[in-house]
Amino acid sequence: MFGFGKKKQRQTEAEDALKDASLDPQPSPAPVAEPLIVDLQGDGQPSIEHKRTENPSDAAPDQGRLGDAIARAAAKREEETSQQRRLFAGLKSGLARTRAVLNADIGDLVSGRTEIDEDLLEELEMLLLAADVGVPATRRIIDDLAYRVKRREALEPDAFLAALRRELASLLVASQAPVKQPTAGRPQVILMVGVNGAGKTTTIGKLARQLKDEGNSVMLAAGDTFRAAAVEQLQSWGERNQVPVIAQHTGADPASVIFDALQAATARGIDVLIADTAGRLHTKSNLMEELRKIARVLKKLDADAPHEVMLVVDATAGQNALQQAVQFNDTLPLTGITLTKLDGTAKGGIIFAIAERLPVPFRFIGVGEQVEDLRPFEAETFLDALLSP
């Protein structure tokens, strides 16, 4: 999951099959004595040779256990493929509103045309702006397509749509970067930031569950000490996921709470510490300064912490989400972005606007209420779901 947590090494299916087949090995049969054959040669001297008697162990090996293991591996592959199809269908459903604006209208735009012209490019520009792709990103896309049309590389509808997809993909993959890893024996610290109502605490709960399911030990830090119900909400997620939550009283110093949590996580050998913070308007300089303080305090225990500063933004905020990302990044350099509530808006094009403006990778997208609806962001899969019929 993008380097979050400490990954467990997985064996290949072939190794799994061989391992399964080798379980409970049967003892090898005792060797069978080879009889002597005496043959009188023409000179009257006996010739003694060993006649090879087939040993049962030399025969074709019993395929029972190996065959069963291979069948189980095939069934596992089929199950994983079925799960991938189900997850893709869920992602596609979650992006339905944005897809209705982008994909359906773009399809109608090129349908029946034999050649791409300037009028079509102008109509496409309006569609992209309507989906909140933003002026800079839209301008970049249209300029690239116009250049390709001029060079007669994208005159036909299929070639034009392929060029559009490539340009959208280039926006999303350009900023991808790995997650910073902690030194051995230290927790990976994820500091979650964002405005009120973006879905930080819910995202923390879902992420904690996914990391725990992958075999990581997880701890939560209740750094939102201002909102009355924030600690209780995080503790509820902790109980649901069976992970410890470090908290203090309402009004406590957030930096102190998260500092104590990192001490506890280090002492207990925790793999991942996820720290919640209070929602704050990106225009409030004093509250934004508090984030810098949290980062400074964490570095007293681990010079590399926080290893991830993840901004959670609400896709329904449209262009305001872009402004949030810019302001938070100016305050405390972001290393990742999670875009929530994509299932509730037709303005999912904001992801392209943010990608064009900031060199910060998207880590997750939220497309529903369930834990599995917090999806690791993969540009190609996202585009497949967004642009598929």
Residue numbering of the annotated binding site for GTP: 194-201, 276-280, 340-343
Edge to edge, the sheet with strand 218-223 lists: 245-246, 218-223, 272-277, 188-193, 308-314, 336-340, 362-366, 374-376
Instruction: At 91, list the tokens.
Output: 């992602």
| Count of CB atoms situated within 10 Å of the CB of 247 | 23
Distance CA 209, CA 243 (A): 9
Residue 62 CB contacts under 8 Å (≥ 6 apart), including other chains: none
Residues of the binding site: 194-201, 276-280, 340-343
| Count of CB atoms situated within 10 Å of the CB of 359 | 12
The length of the chain, given as a count of residues: 389
The CA distances from residue 89 to 107, 118, 233, 272, 386, in Å, are 20, 35, 30, 30, 11
- Look at the block and give the residue holding tokens 């949590």: 261
Helix axes 379-387, 157-173, angle to 10 degrees: 140
| Count of CB atoms situated within 10 Å of the CB of 110 | 17
Positive or negative torsion for Cα 274, 280, 283, 287: negative
Residue 142 CB contacts under 8 Å (≥ 6 apart), including other chains: 121, 124, 125, 128
Query: What is 273-293 written as a DSSP string?
Result: EEEEE----TT-HHHHHHHHH
Rg, Å, the chain Cα set = 30
Q: Specify whether the CB–CB gap between 123 and 109 falls below 8 A.
A: yes
Distance CA 301, CA 296 (A): 10
Instruction: At 75, list the tokens.
Output: 């069934």
Q: Specify whether the CB–CB gap between 4 and 272 falls below 8 A.
A: yes
Residue type, 250: T
